[in-house]
């Protein structure tokens, strides 16, 4: 296989014609570029016989789901095609309690709805102690609980009625069970709810309970195209973040974990180099500590990005990795149009 980058070419078609003259026909050609027009994609794939065209920014997800199966040959990646059907699931999990997982989940969901103009649902699976509703000043009803407890009777109408609109194109599905509740969360219940949501929403952002993730919720990790692991700059966080990565890789056969180091510069935290050594790699995303304004946002029930606009800039690479949409060039992306059914 040949992989060519035509982003810098003034006349990409001429460059590909040149390549066709020297490249044997049996060699599949994958092209990377910055043109996001669907017409350009068709020209390359339908008319010029290119095996695949990947517009930049090149995301890890695009490489894993579009490029790697081609490298592995025909028939590879059945798991991937089942992931591709239905809305795009993003799982957010904290390596430890209180590291900022819900904060990241809420603000990423808001950014996704804005950047892609797609329909997004935030599913808070912390049924007893979830804080997504509090942070968004919402009052969840019993719908999620009934759907999880009685999956056979759950339907998309129930979930649609239950999911509260918290921003344009963003709905929240949460429960307010309180301590002592005994909602039986089963694998069937979680799978059913996820399946119904994936039929209705382009993105399903799931705020998962922290480590250890309850086994009934493993299906979320299996179906997720990205598992966002949020950790703080501490030893326990490093250990648990690595454990989640290993678990996801073992369960799904692909490395789809994105590590987010939150409150990176908090006093007493581990240094960058120790974190890199401990994780075995640089964290994919790093977010600084924003101090008391973050707690104030929680207390007044508004998303953190409202009180701390700088958070948006720090989340931009994560949103780009998930959506394939350049947030500052939204409106032009080919991927965005594909998602905008």
Ligand X SMILES: Nc1ncnc2c1ncn2[C@@H]1O[C@H](COP(=O)(O)OP(=O)(O)OP(=O)(O)O)[C@@H](O)[C@H]1O
Minimum distance, C-beta of residue 91 to ligand X, in the bound complex (Å): 13
- Residue from 32, 289, 317, 320 touching ligand X (CB under 6 A): that is 289
Map residues 272-301 to x or -, x wherever contact with Mg ion holds by CB under 5 A.
Answer: ------------------------------
Shortest spacing between CB 143 and ligand X, in angstroms: 21
Helix (H, G, I), strand (E, B) or coil at 31: strand
| Comparison of 120 and 304: residue with beta carbon closer to ligand X | 304
Residue spans of beta strands (DSSP E) within the chain: 2-5, 29-33, 52-55, 88-94, 120-124, 164-167, 170-173, 203-207, 226-231, 257-261, 285-286
For residue 212, is the peptide bond before it cis, meaning its omega torsion is within 30 degrees of 0? Answer: yes
By the rule CB under 5 A, 102 interacts with Mg ion: yes
Among 4, 294, 302, 307, contact with ligand X (rule: CB under 6 A): 294
| CA pseudo-torsion sign 183, 184, 190, 193 | negative
* Chosen from ligand X, Mg ion, none, partner binding at 210 (C-beta under 5 to 8 Å by type): ligand X
Q: State the minimum distance, in angstroms, from the CB of residue 212 to ligand X.
A: 13
Closest Cα to residue 51, out of 8, 9, 16, 86?
16
- Say whether 202 sits in a helix, a strand or coil: coil
Is the CB of residue 175 less than 8 Å from the CB of residue 189? no
- Which of ligand X, Mg ion, none sits in contact with 206, Cβ below 5 to 8 A by type? none
36 binds, among ligand X, Mg ion, none (CB under 5 to 8 A by kind): none
In the 3-class helix/strand/coil scheme, how is 232-258 assigned residue by residue?
Answer: CCCHHHHHHHHHHHHHHHHHHCCCCEE
Q: Alpha-carbon Rg of the chain, whole angstroms?
A: 21
Stretch touching Mg ion by CB under 5 A, among 98-106, 113-121, 214-222, 247-255: 98-106
Which of 79, 294 has the CB closer to ligand X?
A: 294
Q: Does 93 bind ligand X (CB under 6 A)?
A: no
Site for ligand X in 50-89 (CB under 6 A): none
Q: What strand order describes the sheet that includes 29-33?
A: 2-5, 29-33, 52-55
* Shortest CB 110 distance to Mg ion, Å: 16
Task: Provide, rounded to whole angstroms, the least separation between the CB of residue 131 and ligand X.
Answer: 5
State the number of binding residues for ligand X (CB under 6 A).
21
Determine the Cα–Cα distance for residues 168 and 166; give it in Å rounded to an integer: 7
Nearest to 303 by CA among 119, 176, 134, 162: 134
Burial-class residue 330 by CB neighbours within 10 Å (0-12, 13-18, 19+).
middle
Residue 187 interacting entry, from ligand X, Mg ion, none, C-beta within 5 to 8 Å by type? none
Per DSSP, the residues of 310-322 read HHHHHHHHHHHHH
Q: How far is the CB of 126 from Mg ion (least distance, A)?
A: 6
Burial 137-159 (b: 16+ CB within 10 A, else e): ebebeebbbbbbbebeebeeebb
Site for ligand X in 134-173 (CB under 6 A): none
Residue 298 in contact with ligand X, rule: CB under 6 A: yes
Binding part of the chain for Mg ion, among 58-66, 80-88, 93-101, 172-180 by CB under 5 A, reads 93-101
- Choosing from 141, 210, 269, 317, the residue that interacts with ligand X (CB under 6 A) is 210
286 is a contact residue toward ligand X (CB under 6 A): no
Judged by beta carbon, residue 6 or residue 227, the one nearer ligand X is: 227
Instruction: Yes or no: say if 228 and 92 are a contact pair by the CB < 8 Å rule.
Output: yes
Q: Is 263 an interacting residue with respect to ligand X (CB under 6 A)?
A: yes
Q: Which of 59, 102, 252, 333 binds ligand X (CB under 6 A)?
A: 102
Summarize as ranges the residues that interact with Mg ion (CB under 5 A). Answer: 101-102
Summarize as ranges the residues that interact with ligand X (CB under 6 A). Answer: 94, 97-103, 126, 131, 210, 262-263, 287, 289-291, 294-295, 298, 304
């Amino acid at each position: 296989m040949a992989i060519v980058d035509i982003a810098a070419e003034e006349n990409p078609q001429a460059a590909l014609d040149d390549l066709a003259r020297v490249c044997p026909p049996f060699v599949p050609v994958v092209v990377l570029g910055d043109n996001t027009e669907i017409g350009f994609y068709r020209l390359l794939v339908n008319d010029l016989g290119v095996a695949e065209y990947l517009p930049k920014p090149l995301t890890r997800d695009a490489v894993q789901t579009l490029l790697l199966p081609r490298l592995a040959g025909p028939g590879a990646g059945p798991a991937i095609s089942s992931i591709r059907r239905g809305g795009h699931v993003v799982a957010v999990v904290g390596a430890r309690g209180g590291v900022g997982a819900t904060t990241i989940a809420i603000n990423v969901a808001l950014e996704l709805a804005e950047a892609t103009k797609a329909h997004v649902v935030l599913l808070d699976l912390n049924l007893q102690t979830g804080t997504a509703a509090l942070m968004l000043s919402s009052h969840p009803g019993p719908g999620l609980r009934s759907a999880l407890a009685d999956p056979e009777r759950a339907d998309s109408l129930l979930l649609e009625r239950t999911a509260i609109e918290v921003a344009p194109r963003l709905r929240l599905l949460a429960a307010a069970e309180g301590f002592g509740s005994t909602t039986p969360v089963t694998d069937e219940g979680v799978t059913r709810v996820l399946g119904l949501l994936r039929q209705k929403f382009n993105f399903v952002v799931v705020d998962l309970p922290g480590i250890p993730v309850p086994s009934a919720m493993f299906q979320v990790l299996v179906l997720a195209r990205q598992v966002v692991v949020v950790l703080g700059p501490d030893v326990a966080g490093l250990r648990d973040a690595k454990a989640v990565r290993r678990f996801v890789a073992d369960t799904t056969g692909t490395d789809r974990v994105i590590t987010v180091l939150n409150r990176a510069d908090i006093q007493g935290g581990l240094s960058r180099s120790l974190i890199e050594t401990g994780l075995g790699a640089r964290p994919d995303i790093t977010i600084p500590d924003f101090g008391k304004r973050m707690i104030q946002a929680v207390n007044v029930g508004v998303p953190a990005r409202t009180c701390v606009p700088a958070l948006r800039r720090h989340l931009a690479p994560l949103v780009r990795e998930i959506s394939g949409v350049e947030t500052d060039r939204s409106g032009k992306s080919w991927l965005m149009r594909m998602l905008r059914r």
